Structure formats: C-alpha cells, structure tokens
Structure 1
Amino acid sequence: MFDNKEKTNLNEMGEFGLIQHLTQTIQLTNESSVKGIGDDAAVLDFKDKKTLISTDLLLENVHFDLRYVPLKHLGYKAIQVNLSDIYAMNGIASQVTISIGVSSKFPLEALEELYAGALIACEKYKVDLVGGDTSTSTQGLVISVTSIGYAEADEIAYRSGAKEGDLLCVSGDLGGAYVGLQILEREKQIYLENPEIQPDLEGKDYIIERQLKPEARKDVVELFRHLHVKPHAMIDVSDGLASEILHICNASNLGCKLYEDKIPIDPMTYETAREFGLDPTVCALSGGEDYELLFTVPQSDYDKVKNQLDISIIGYMTEPAAGQKMISKSGSEHDIVAQGWNAFTKKD
C-alpha cells in the first residue's frame, strides 16, 4: 500500500490534528466556495442556479478490496463515482466533502495516500474539497463522499423526462469495469494460493483502469453545451445498462427498444469476457461501475449526435404498452431484465 518508512499511529494525531494535517494544503478555486474547511459548515453561493447534491458510501470488502485496490486509486475513485451523479443531472460539480471511518490498523501514511488520490481527482475536475469528518471504525475502512454542484433550472436532466420517440444514447463503452474486476479477483485468488506468483495483468491496462480508476463524464456534459443539446432524461451507468434503462423507462412511464448490436463494447472487454466464459453483452447489461452517461434526446438532435465518436445511439423510447425490449443480434426480441451482479454464470 505504501513504502516501508516508519509509520505514524493515528492515535498520535487526534481527530482535529488528523483533519488539519490532511487538509492543510487545500485551496478553494470555485467562486461559489465562500468558506471551506475550518468552520462548523461550509458556505456556498450559487446565486440564481439550482443546487445539486448527491452522496455515496463505499465500504471495505463490500465496494472495494484493499488486497488489490491501491489507496490512491481508491481516493480518486471515491470522488469520481460521486461527481458522476452530478453530471448525470446535466450539472456542473463544484464541491465535495469526504468523511472516513478508519481502524487503528491504518497509519497516517495510508490516509495520506487516500487523500492524495482524492485531491488529484478534485484538481483534475476543478472541484473544491470543503468539508468532511473522521471517525474510528471497527468494520474496516468506510468512505462517504457528498458531491455538490449546480445547473440552470431548464438544463437539469431528470430520469423522468424521456419522451416517446426519443433516441436512447450512451457515452463511451460498457462492461469493461466488470471484466477488469474479474481479472483482479482471479489474480487475488492466485496470490492467496501462492504469494510467490506475481500478478499477470499484461495487456489488460484499459479494463483494469476502468475498474480501479473510472472517469466521470464531465466532458460529455460540456459536449452537450457545445452542441446545444439538452437531454430529455439522463442517468449514469453505475449498476449496469439494463438497470439504468429500466430506471428511465419506469420514471418516464415509457417502453424502449434496445439493439444488442449497437451496445458499445471495447474489443479488450469483449475478448477478455470470452476468456472468462462470460457473455460480453451480459457484462455490459448487468456488470456496473462503468460510470458512463445514458441519456435520451429528441430525434431532431440526430444529426448533432450521430457522428460523435464517443456517443452511441443504441435504441429509442416507445409507448409504455410496447414494454422494455432488447433486439438481439439474431433479431429475436427479449425483455430487458436488471439482473445485477449475481447474474454472471460461465457458459458450458
């Protein structure tokens, strides 16, 4: 996790000393950040814009495994998964708070690594860290991040805003994070059986990074502004494409047609899924943690989005009675089902 230099016990720091140490270099850069860390509450001023707030909880051995997740990557990812929720509302993220519960097994240097990753993400995405909390945990490492952002009232994209006939679109590619997780889990098991064997991750950098170091799609929101496109509905792909499509359909009271051959899957994801005996389409539908943006736009915006290399048109919204359907590569029609993480079974 960190080098072999002498470790600093957290008991030597105390809660306030720890917070001061971890946040002493933070500088506020957003105009909306009036007051950050150092008082009872942060003070933010968004003037006439709507405020967006989202929070996520990450638990050791539930959401991450420290046997293969570097602490710096974990800090970075904790920020990204929260910023993604703000971008999924078609907003701009501007502030975050970080709270951690940590056991005595972690020295100060471990938390410095965690915060270093978080601050790299904040700096990259121009987000201010304005508060948080620390506490003792008896259940391993606990991380809670709250993200704050803003948008004009008429720019916010709700899940409930899709219209019949809308194009169903998604950014980036899907399934890579889940397949990357399979590699990491495989190498963990090999290591546990024989610690002398080094991990074999060669040639799999892209999908490993999709799992360990996801990137929230702020660039897609900025692209919307550039193209003068206002998504009718939007959600981030955190639980798998199928689950997110159903969220939009249910919130908007609509059906949809999804075309399997239009789902964007990177060749490395496809080939590696096959190596594990997994269906690449199922990985995209149910794998999760891709943090891409799924959205609908009116058909009048077709010419604006059709040639964007990082956007795929994967289907369209239908009347409610038509149901939520996927058209397979063979042309057969199937109900879209949110199967979740337990759906993956190896083929015979």
Structure 2
Amino acid sequence: MFDNKDRTNISELGEFGLIDYLTKAVEINQPSSIKGIGDDAAVLDFSNKQTLISTDLLLEGIHFDLRYVPLKHLGYKAVQVNLSDIYAMNGIASQITFSIGLSSKFPLEAVEEIYEGALIACKKFNVDLIGGDTSASAQGLVISVTSIGHVDKDKVVYRSGAKEGDLLCVSGDLGGAYVGLQLLEREKQIFLENPNIQPDLEGKDYIVERQLKPESRKDIVELFETYGIQPHAMIDVSDGLASEIIHICKASNVGCKLYEEKIPIDPMTYETAREFGLDPTVCALSGGEDYELLFTVPQEQYDKVKNQLDISIIGYITEENAGCEMVSKSGHVHSLKAQGWNAFEAEDQQNEE
C-alpha cells in the first residue's frame, strides 16, 4: 500500500501525462493486436474468427468497498470479471481496454496499484492492454473494462442453445465469494466499532480470495478444446447459480431439474456459512461472484465430462412446461427463483443507510 506521506497529486501530471506514466510498461504480445496504445484507436485483426466483446462497469460503494478491498486486488478483479464473459462464450480473450474515473482523494500511487493489479491479470491470461481512458470523478472511483476475444465460428456458445435431455454442469465450487464477503463485512463492522481490533481472517484464505481475487475459467475453455467437449449453452456464474440457470432456461425455452446434493460447495464455504447462520445451498444459489462456468452438454458427452475433477454434473435440462426445479437433499421439489445480487437494489440500500 502506498504511503500517504509520499503521495503525488495526479494534477501534477495532467491527463495525458498520467496515461503516459501508467502505460509506459505495457507490452503487446497477441498476434491479433496490430496497434495498441498510442493512436486514436487500436487496430485488431482476427482473420476468420468470430469477435467477442464485453464491457463491465465497477462503481465504488456499489461493486466494491475500499475499506477492505486492496487496490491491486481491485485492478486484478476488474479485469478477471470481464474476461469471464468471453470464456462464457467458449472464446479466448486477447485484448482489453481499461478506463478509470477518480476523485482528487486518489494520489498517483493509488492509481499505480490499480493498474499494477490489472497488468498482472493481463500477463497471467495473456491479454493485451490496448487502450482506455482516464477522467475525474465526483463520486469516488469508477472502473470500466472492455474485453475482446475470439472464437471459431462453429464453436461459439450462446445461452440459448440448451436442449431437452442435456446434462447441466458447472465448474469449480460455488458460494465461496459470497461467504467471503460476509466475513469481510463482519470484520469491517468490528473495526469501525473498535479500530484497535485487527481483522481475524486466519484460516479463511480460500473464501477471502474467492471474493477479493477471483479467477476466471480460461482453463475450462482449454479443457473443452483438449477433450472435444462442445457445450450447447453456457453462462458465467456472476449473480448466483439459480439466476444463471434461469437465464439459460429462458433463453433456450427449456426447463431444468437441479439436484441440491450435486451442487459443489467447498468445505470452508460450508463451515463458514454455518458459522454465520446461513444455508450453504442458498449461498451457492443466490450469492454470486463465483465466476465459474455453468453449461449444458448433450448426454453423448457424459463420458467426456464425468471424470473431469473440476466439473460437476448437477442436473439435466427438461422440457419448458416442467419449469426450473431443484430436488432437495430430502427429496422435496422446489421451484428455482432468481434471487441473485442486484446492483440497483444495492444502491437503494446504500442510499437508505
């Protein structure tokens, strides 16, 4: 973390000086990046590929709380959540633009940390930073990321391709990011009441990291390519499992049967949820920010997915009139409801506070 004693006001550099300062270490590695930063627009060439583009906006006080989110982690996460949308289309991300709006409370050193985190993500996932913008903001910190990727025309996957009889699958485990957020919020409240008490996060590294430093699942897309798995439909789990399942079913005009006992939940997530008096299944269904991939595959591909350690088969697709249902561990059938995180509701709650 930067030292406030050595802070450099951004006004000393000006907008163009700030851009030059932040982008001096940017390297271009993708063959499709013909021209990156330094002109009026970037130039890309994907030859015969389908081009994928996605944009995310992150607002201070709505999407993140700087009282417990390190700036470097924030830059990293801002890139990761956007790359996840490209992977959810069965594509490979290759470029991003990174734009930032900030108030005068942020010195140059703070912006450096944000960009450092973003560039770490770019390097890890082999993505070029090819542009962006900086601006003053009257309402704190604003980050906008646009990711660009590509996919073969015959391999692009939409939400709308699920078919009756498909297996419903998900990567990784769910609920960890939400439970990690509850832990961070609890420690924040304790600190606000007594600043002399240090945060107690010992032994909870996994769920804290799931919230502060999520990892988008490029590896799953690469696994599909390696094993010849072609999903019919796919979406990333950003707003909770239930919400994403319903998105796929509505877009595909189908129903589904989800089995609670098949939902992958890490032991630390499960135990910590119980400590908070939360139902671990509800955390997985409605928590969000896990950035795993939810997808359907035809039953003929069962043998290809059944032995993949990081993929769980959690149900199957039914005909539309059957609706979206979950079979509980006790055998009872419940209708799935989309109760995931909503940015506009979060803003209303903040205004009420």
What is aligned with 2:160?
160
What is aligned with 1:346?
none
Alignment of 1:161-176 (within 5 A): 161-176=161-176
Residue type matched to 1:64 in 2?
F
Q: What is the CA deviation profile of residues 147-196 of structure 1, one whole-angstrom value per residue up to 9, with x for unaligned ones?
A: 00000111000000011100000000000000000000000000000000
What is aligned with 1:237?
237
What is aligned with 1:270?
270
Structure 1 unaligned regions, length at least 5: 344-348
Alignment of 1:147-226 (within 5 A): 147-226=147-226
Q: What is the CA deviation profile of residues 68-117 of structure 1, one whole-angstrom value per residue up to 9, with x for unaligned ones?
A: 00000000000000000000000000000001000010000000000000
**Post-superposition, which runs of at least 4 consecutive aligned residues in structure 1 deviate over 6 A?**
none
Q: What is the CA deviation profile of residues 236-264 of structure 1, one whole-angstrom value per residue up to 9, with x for unaligned ones?
A: 00000000000000000000000000000
**Aligned sequence identity (%):** 79
Residue type matched to 2:199 in 1?
P
SS of the residue corresponding to residue 153 of structure 1 reads coil
What is aligned with 1:108?
108
Residue type matched to 1:71 in 2?
L
Residue type matched to 2:96 in 1?
V
RMSD: 1.0
SS of the residue corresponding to residue 48 of structure 2 reads coil
SS of the residue corresponding to residue 133 of structure 2 reads strand
SS of the residue corresponding to residue 46 of structure 1 reads coil
Q: What is the CA deviation profile of residues 23-61 of structure 1, one whole-angstrom value per residue up to 9, with x for unaligned ones?
A: 001110000000001100000000110100000000000
SS of the residue corresponding to residue 154 of structure 2 reads helix
Residue type matched to 1:194 in 2?
N
SS of the residue corresponding to residue 211 of structure 1 reads helix
What is aligned with 2:348?
none
Alpha-carbon shift at residue 5 of structure 1 (Å): 4.9
Q: What is the CA deviation profile of residues 127-151 of structure 1, one whole-angstrom value per residue up to 9, with x for unaligned ones?
A: 0000000000000100000000000
CA distance in 1 between partners of 2:5 and 2:23 (Å): 22
SS of the residue corresponding to residue 318 of structure 1 reads strand
What is aligned with 2:338?
338
Q: What is the CA deviation profile of residues 244-293 of structure 1, one whole-angstrom value per residue up to 9, with x for unaligned ones?
A: 00000000000000000000000000000000000000000000000000
CA distance in 1 between partners of 2:33 and 2:55 (Å): 18
SS of the residue corresponding to residue 94 of structure 2 reads strand
**1:261 maps onto 2:264 in alignment:** no
What is aligned with 1:130?
130
What is aligned with 1:30?
30
**1:97 maps onto 2:67 in alignment:** no
Structure 2 unaligned regions, length at least 5: 346-353
CA distance in 1 between partners of 2:319 and 2:341 (Å): 29
SS of the residue corresponding to residue 22 of structure 1 reads helix
**Equivalences, count:** 343
